[in-house]
Amino acid sequence: MTTTAHGIESAAWLLIALPLISGAVLLLAGKRANKWGHLLGALVPIVLFVYALMLFFAVKHEHNREVSRHLFNWIHVGRFSIDAGLLLDPLSLVFVLLITGVGSLIHIYAVGYMSHDPGRRRFFGYFNIFVAAMLLLVLADNYLSLYVGWEGVGVASYLLISFYYDRNSAATAGNKAFFANRVGDVGLSVAIMLMFAYLGNTSFQTVLHSHLSNGVASAIAFMLLLGACGKSGQFPLQTWLPDAMEGPTPVSALIHAATMVTAGVYLIARSAAIFDQSQSARTMITIIGAITLLYGCVSAFGQDDLKKVLAYSTVSQIGYMFLAVGLGPGVYAIGIIHLLGHGFFKAALFLSAGSVMHAMNDRIDMRRFGGLRTVMPITFAVFVCGYLALIGFPLATGFWTKDKIIEAAFDKGGTSGWILGIAALLGAGLTAAYMTRALVMTFFGEKRWEDDVHPHEAPKSMTLPMIVLGALSLVGGYLLIFGGGVQHWLTPSVGPSVEEGVHTVNPTVLSILTLVVIALGAYGAYAAYGRKAVPVEKPVAVSPITRAARKNIYADAFNEAVLMKPGQWLSRALVYFDNRGVDGAVTGLAAGMGGSSSRLRRMQTGFVRSYALSMLGGTIAVVAVLLAVRFQ
Amino acid sequence: MSHVLFAAATVPTIKTPSIAYHAIAPILIVLGAALLGVLVEAAVPRRERFNAQIAVTVLGLIGALVAVGLLHNTSLTTPSPVGSSESFYGALSVDPAGLFLQGTVLALALMATLLISERSIEIGSPIVASAAVVVGSPDDKRLANSERVQTEIFPLLLFAVSGMLIFPIANNLLLMFIALEVLSLPLYLMAGLSRRRRLLSQEASLKYFLLGAFASAFFLYGLALLYGYANSVDLPAIFNAQRTSGKSDVLLYLGLGLVIVGLLFKASVAPFHSWTPDVYQGSPTPVAAFMASCTKVASFGALLRVLVIGFSGSTWDWRPIIWGVAIASMVIGAILGVTQTDIKRVLAYSSIAHAGFILVGLVAVTSDKGQSLASVMFYVLSYGFTTLAAFGLLMLVRDADGEATHLSQWSGLARKSPLVASVMTILLLSMAGIPLTSGFIGKFYVFRAAWHTAGPLVVIALLCSAVAAFYYLRIVVLMFFAEPPENAPTIAIPGWSASVALTTGVVVTVFLGLLPEPIVDLAVKAAHLRG
**pLDDT tens digit sequence for B49-62:** 999 999 999 999 99
CB contact under 8 A, B478 and A588: yes
CA dist B229 and B257 (Å) reads: 14
Is residue A351 a contact partner of residue A388, using CB atoms and an 8 Å limit? no
CA dist B364 and B459 (Å) reads: 15
Whether the pLDDT of residue A336 is over 70: the answer is yes
Count chain A–chain B contacts defined by CB atoms under 8 A: 178
**pLDDT tens digit sequence for B502-518:** 999 999 999 998 888 88
| Contacts for B235-241: CB closer than 8 Å, 24+ residues apart | B235/B171, B235/B172, B235/B173, B235/B305, B235/B306, B235/B309, B235/B310, B235/B531, B236/B90, B236/B171, B236/B309, B236/B310, B236/B531, B238/B173, B238/B310, B238/B311, B239/B309, B239/B310, B239/B311, B239/B312, B239/B313, B239/B531
ipTM rounded to 2 decimals: 0.86
Longest dimension (CA), chain B: 79
Is residue A270 a contact partner of residue A327, using CB atoms and an 8 Å limit? no
Q: Which of A95, A54, A584, A544 has its CA nearest to residue A340? A: A95
Predicted pLDDT of residue B183: 94
> Residue A29: enclosing H or E segment and its boundaries?
none
If one counts every other C-beta atom within 10 angstroms of the C-beta of residue B327, the result is 19
Whether the pLDDT of residue A380 is over 50: the answer is yes
Predicted pLDDT of residue A200: 75
Residue B397 in 3-state DSSP? Answer: strand
- Angstroms from A568 CA to nearest CA on chain B: 9
Is residue B72 a contact partner of residue B79, using CB atoms and an 8 Å limit? no
Predicted pLDDT of residue A588: 34
Whether the pLDDT of residue B322 is over 90: the answer is yes
CB contact under 8 A, A630 and B249: yes
Is residue A351 a contact partner of residue A378, using CB atoms and an 8 Å limit? no
A627 in contact with chain B, both atoms CB, cutoff 8 A = yes
Predicted pLDDT of residue B354: 95
Whether the pLDDT of residue B219 is over 90: the answer is yes
CA dist A379 and A384 (Å) reads: 9
More confident residue, B12 or B84: B12
Least confident range from A123-127, A558-562, A594-598: namely A594-598
Work out the pLDDT band at A551, boundaries 50, 70, 90.
low
- The secondary structure of residue A526, as a DSSP letter, is I
CA dist B530 and B94 (Å) reads: 8
Q: Which of A173, A341, A151 has its CA nearest to residue A263? A: A151
Q: Which residues fall within 8 angstroms of residue A150, CB to CB, at 6 or more apart?
A: A137, A185, A188, A227, A231, A263
A600 burial class (0-12, 13-18, 19+ CB within 10 angstroms)?
A: middle
> Residue A68: enclosing H or E segment and its boundaries?
strand A67-77
Predicted pLDDT of residue A606: 66
A residues 195-224 closer than 8 Å to B (CB) = 196-197
**pLDDT tens digit sequence for B260-288:** 999 999 999 988 998 999 999 999 999 99
Q: Report CA torsion sign: B250, B251, B256, B262.
A: positive
Give a yes or no: residue A203 inside a domain. yes
Q: Which of B292, B291, B299 has its CA nearest to residue B267? A: B299
Least confident range from A11-20, A521-530, B398-407: namely A521-530
Q: Which residues fall within 8 angstroms of residue A478, CB to CB, at 6 or more apart?
A: A395, A397, A400
Predicted pLDDT of residue B326: 95
Residue A141's alpha-carbon distances to A71, A135, B296, in angstroms, are 10, 12, 38
CB contact under 8 A, B257 and A75: no
Give a yes or no: residue A216 inside a domain. yes
Predicted pLDDT of residue B17: 67
Work out the pLDDT band at A572, boundaries 50, 70, 90.
low
CA dist A191 and A285 (Å) reads: 16
**pLDDT tens digit sequence for A207-238:** 888 888 888 888 888 889 988 888 888 887 77
A604 in contact with chain B, both atoms CB, cutoff 8 A = yes
**Domain final residue pick, A530, A555, A571:** A530
Whether the pLDDT of residue A585 is over 70: the answer is no
Q: Is the peptide bond before B271 cis (omega within 30 degrees of 0)?
A: yes
Predicted pLDDT of residue B370: 84
Strands in A67-77's sheet, in edge-to-edge order, are A3-4, A67-77, A80-88
pLDDT over 90, % of chain A: 2
A13 in contact with chain B, both atoms CB, cutoff 8 A = no
**Residues A195 and A303 both lie in one domain:** yes
More confident residue, B13 or A143: A143
CA dist B165 and B176 (Å) reads: 10
Strands in B397-399's sheet, in edge-to-edge order, are B402-403, B397-399, B490-491
**Residues A496 and A614 both lie in one domain:** no
Give a yes or no: residue A14 inside a domain. yes
Q: Which of B33, B175, B10, B34 has its CA nearest to residue B92? A: B175
Give a yes or no: residue B7 inside a domain. no
Is residue A37 a contact partner of residue A120, using CB atoms and an 8 Å limit? yes
Whether the pLDDT of residue B404 is over 80: the answer is yes
Number of domains in chain B: 1
CA dist B213 and B205 (Å) reads: 12
The β-bridge partners of B403 are B398
A residues 411-440 closer than 8 Å to B (CB) = none
Whether the pLDDT of residue B301 is over 90: the answer is yes
CA dist B495 and A527 (Å) reads: 72
Which chain B residue has the Cα nearest residue A195? B448
Is residue B195 a contact partner of residue B129, using CB atoms and an 8 Å limit? yes
CB contact under 8 A, A580 and B257: no
CB contact under 8 A, B272 and A618: yes
**pLDDT tens digit sequence for A55-103:** 888 887 776 677 777 777 766 655 566 777 888 888 888 889 889 988 8
CB contact under 8 A, B481 and A590: no
Work out the pLDDT band at B111, boundaries 50, 70, 90.
very high
- The secondary structure of residue A78, as a DSSP letter, is T
Residue B189 lies in domain: 19-526
Residue A244's alpha-carbon distances to A354, A357, B27, B93, in angstroms, are 15, 16, 58, 59
Give a yes or no: residue B1 inside a domain. no
**Domain final residue pick, A499, A530, A561:** A530
Which chain B residue has the Cα nearest residue A605? B278
CA dist B395 and B389 (Å) reads: 10
What Rg value do the Cα atoms of chain B yield, rounded? 23
Which chain B residue has the Cα nearest residue A200? B448
Model confidence, pTM? 0.74
Give a yes or no: residue A489 inside a domain. yes
Least confident range from A34-38, A77-81, A462-466: namely A77-81
Strand duo B490-491 + B397-399: pairing: antiparallel
Work out the pLDDT band at B188, boundaries 50, 70, 90.
very high
Residue A631 lies in domain: 595-632
Give a yes or no: residue B531 inside a domain. no
Give a yes or no: residue B3 inside a domain. no
Give a yes or no: residue A463 inside a domain. yes
Whether the pLDDT of residue A563 is over 80: the answer is no
Q: How high does pLDDT run on average in chain A? A: 79
CA dist A144 and B374 (Å) reads: 22
First to last CA, chain B: 29
Which chain A residue has the Cα nearest residue B524? A77
Average pLDDT over residues A606-611: 77
Whether the pLDDT of residue A604 is over 50: the answer is no
Whether the pLDDT of residue A376 is over 60: the answer is yes
Whether the pLDDT of residue A13 is over 80: the answer is yes
Question: Which of A72, A622, A629 is the best residue to mutate to test the B interface, defined by the most B CB atoms within 10 Å of its own CB?
Answer: A622
If one counts every other C-beta atom within 10 angstroms of the C-beta of residue A631, the result is 9
Strand duo B402-403 + B397-399: pairing: antiparallel
Q: List chain A residues with CB under 8 Å of B253.
A: 623, 626-627, 630
Number of domains in chain A: 2
**pLDDT tens digit sequence for A363-375:** 777 777 877 788 8
More confident residue, A126 or B391: B391
- Angstroms from B250 CA to nearest CA on chain A: 7
Predicted pLDDT of residue B401: 80
Average pLDDT over residues A583-594: 33
CB contact under 8 A, A77 and B258: no
CA dist B428 and B477 (Å) reads: 11
Predicted pLDDT of residue A584: 34
**pLDDT tens digit sequence for A165-224:** 666 677 667 767 777 777 788 788 888 878 877 777 788 888 888 888 888 888 888 889
One-letter amino acid of A631: F
Phi-psi region of A446 (alpha: psi -120 to 50; beta: other; left: phi over 0): beta
Q: Which of A528, A556, A531, A558 has its CA nearest to residue A543? A: A528
Predicted pLDDT of residue B359: 95
More confident residue, B402 or B161: B161
CA dist B358 and A155 (Å) reads: 29
- Angstroms from B448 CA to nearest CA on chain A: 7
CA dist A132 and A16 (Å) reads: 5
More confident residue, B182 or A446: B182
∠ CA(B125), CA(B131), CA(B134), 5° rounding?
A: 125
Average pLDDT over residues A8-12: 77
Strand duo A80-88 + A67-77: pairing: antiparallel
**Domain final residue pick, A530, A559, A586:** A530
A560 in contact with chain B, both atoms CB, cutoff 8 A = no
∠ CA(B102), CA(B178), CA(B152), 5° rounding?
A: 75
Work out the pLDDT band at A591, boundaries 50, 70, 90.
very low
Give a yes or no: residue A503 inside a domain. yes
- Angstroms from A148 CA to nearest CA on chain B: 6
Q: Which residues fall within 8 angstroms of residue A75, CB to CB, at 6 or more apart?
A: A81, A82, B441, B516, B517, B520
**pLDDT tens digit sequence for A255-284:** 877 888 888 889 988 888 888 888 888 888
Whether the pLDDT of residue A318 is over 50: the answer is yes
